[in-house]
Amino acid sequence: MASDSEQSSLPSLGKVGKSSREIGAEQEPLVNGIRSSENYSVAAAILPFLFPALGGLLYGYDIGATSCALISIESATLSGISWYDLSSVEIGLITSGSLYGALIGSILAFNIADFLGRRRELITASILYLVGALVTALAPDFVVMIIGRFVFGIGIGLAMHAAPMYIAETAPSQIRGRLISLKEFFIVLGMVAGYGIGSLLVDIIAGWRYMYGASTPLAVIMGIGMWWLPESPRWILLRAIQGKGNMQDLKETAIRCLCRLRGEAIGDSASELVDEILNELEFVGEEKEATLGEMFRGKCLKALIIGGGLVLFQQITGQPSVLYYAATILENAGFSAASDATRVSILLGLLKLIMTGVAVIVVDRIGRRPLLLGGVSGMVVSLFLLGSYYVFLDDVPAVAVVALLLYVGCYQLSFGPIGWLMISEVFPLRLRGRGLSIAVLVNFGANALVTFSFSPLKAWLGAGLVFYIFGVISVLSLLFIFFIVPETKGLTLEEIEAKCL
């Protein structure tokens, strides 16, 4: 029997009969396109978001802290070490060590995610965060430090893979977009915290050790919190319909987990909601065991195109490179803060926080597509303005400042939060773990490629032409969004699979 809390009409899929949601479609009114009676307690919904989101906060903190830690490590008087005189390659390894670890973490997630489950994967990530931070902070030499950076990076890969899945699978449909987008807010908040703490510790002898060590309490809190939280009910029900345990026992476990996740507001409807999720999973064929070949055909192939395309464009539209030039642009404009890289970073970080907050507030009201189309359009304008500044408007630095701020703001309204949101929504449940690991791998791989290639391209073509190229790529991303990316606002994960793929 269909629960009142999850009913919505679906288009005919060419199958005989209807799903439980189709049968009761007329009974459940929608308010602004969102189901109004999926009961949940706000207080109960916060913790299943908060502890996974700490994984994103630690990722952002690592970015901010590392930029400040490098200043400390390379100082003969402040580093507190004898091996401070590092080559450019060694500095690059410190900077990108966690990124390469994240790539490995994404690859590992492909094979272990569905076995471990979302909760245990996040617990594993918290342990790696803790070990990596401690090894880095206490490193007696360069090699040990790189090992610590790499271990921390594996934690990033697992956390950025499992956190959006756990939040998506446990959040009520009405606020799912807001919560997953809020995870991006936590990443930016971590960056600002890293810049802020780094700027306070940068003048202390061996301050870089304290910068990296400061992340350990959050790693402990994240691990304890995830240990306390229940597993994703949808992951439990997936195991049930695939015969990986006693059906009745797993259903009862899923009901208990759902009650903990939604609080007292769910009342007596948890059992009906679990039955409806089971019916929907069977209706869309989730009882079949996932195979590697399925990743590249049918629904999962379409989900890979949508999710992988979004996170690819998220990086190759130049986000790392634009921020790389931020300090130079502000310095040319005469900003006094430009003499201090950490203060410039804090300024941009605060702008990113504000604009991400706007996206969080409106994403479940306006929808994913309007924010993507509007935000990326602004990025196109800003990139062509930046290119023009370096080609023939270098005597008007205000143009570059406006373009920089416009780019950062529009990115945080669109690709920043919504890229992570969409990859957590579009994959079918039994392929979600592997599909998301591929998308995260594409994200970190493209990030590494853009970061590595920008300086050679700039030397070869000039900064202006490179920004023009990023602008053209942004135009292509607009076409991709318009013709390929569906709207998922207000739909349950099962409805997205049935209606959008």
**Overall average pLDDT of the 136-162 stretch:** 95
3-state SS, residue 230: coil
**Confidence at residue 284, expressed as pLDDT on a 0 to 100 scale:** 58
pLDDT at 35 over 90: no
**Confidence at residue 331, expressed as pLDDT on a 0 to 100 scale:** 65
- pLDDT band for 184, please (50, 70, 90 cuts): confident
3-state SS, residue 71: helix
Task: State which amino acid sits at residue 179.
Answer: L
| pLDDT higher at 350 or 126 | 126
**Confidence at residue 334, expressed as pLDDT on a 0 to 100 scale:** 64
Task: State which amino acid sits at residue 178.
Answer: R
**Confidence at residue 31, expressed as pLDDT on a 0 to 100 scale:** 35
**Confidence at residue 289, expressed as pLDDT on a 0 to 100 scale:** 57
| Mean pLDDT, rounded, of the chain | 82
Residue 369, exposed/middle/buried by CB under 10 A (0-12, 13-18, 19+)? middle
Q: Who's near 322: CB < 8 A, 6+ residues apart?
A: 383, 386, 404, 407, 408, 467, 470
Q: What is the pLDDT of residues 250-268, one digit of tens each?
A: 888 888 888 888 877 676 7
The residue written with tokens 């408007």 in the block is 393
Closest CA to 401 of 330, 340, 465: 330
Q: Who's near 460: CB < 8 A, 6+ residues apart?
A: none
**Overall average pLDDT of the 207-215 stretch:** 95
Query: Residue 252 has which token pair?
Result: 């009862």
pLDDT at 427 over 90: no
**Confidence at residue 150, expressed as pLDDT on a 0 to 100 scale:** 95
What's the CA gap between 351 and 354, in Å, rounded? 5
Q: What is the pLDDT of residues 85-139, one digit of tens each?
A: 888 778 878 888 888 899 899 888 887 877 888 899 999 999 999 999 999 999 9
**Confidence at residue 1, expressed as pLDDT on a 0 to 100 scale:** 35
- pLDDT band for 17, please (50, 70, 90 cuts): very low
**Confidence at residue 174, expressed as pLDDT on a 0 to 100 scale:** 79
- pLDDT band for 332, please (50, 70, 90 cuts): low
Task: State which amino acid sits at residue 273.
Answer: L
- pLDDT band for 400, please (50, 70, 90 cuts): confident
Q: What is the pLDDT of residues 280-293, one digit of tens each?
A: 777 655 555 556 67
**Confidence at residue 9, expressed as pLDDT on a 0 to 100 scale:** 33
Closest CA to 22 of 3, 9, 35: 9
Q: Which domains does the chain have, with CATH numbers?
A: 42-230+292-500 (1.20.1250.20)
What's the CA gap between 49 and 42, in Å, rounded? 11
Task: State which amino acid sits at residue 28.
Answer: E
What's the CA gap between 478 and 150, in Å, rounded? 35
The answer to whether 281 and 429 have CB atoms below 8 angstroms apart is yes
The model's pTM is: 0.79
- pLDDT band for 15, please (50, 70, 90 cuts): very low
Residue 176, exposed/middle/buried by CB under 10 A (0-12, 13-18, 19+)? buried
Q: Half-sphere exposure of residue 102, counting CA atoms within 13 Å on the CB side?
A: 28
Closest CA to 489 of 310, 376, 365: 365
Distance of CA 324 to the CA centre of its chain: 21
What's the CA gap between 53 and 184, in Å, rounded? 8
**Confidence at residue 209, expressed as pLDDT on a 0 to 100 scale:** 96
**Confidence at residue 492, expressed as pLDDT on a 0 to 100 scale:** 81
The answer to whether 496 and 432 have CB atoms below 8 angstroms apart is no
In the chain, what percentage of residues exceed pLDDT 90?
A: 36
**Confidence at residue 335, expressed as pLDDT on a 0 to 100 scale:** 60
- pLDDT band for 23, please (50, 70, 90 cuts): very low
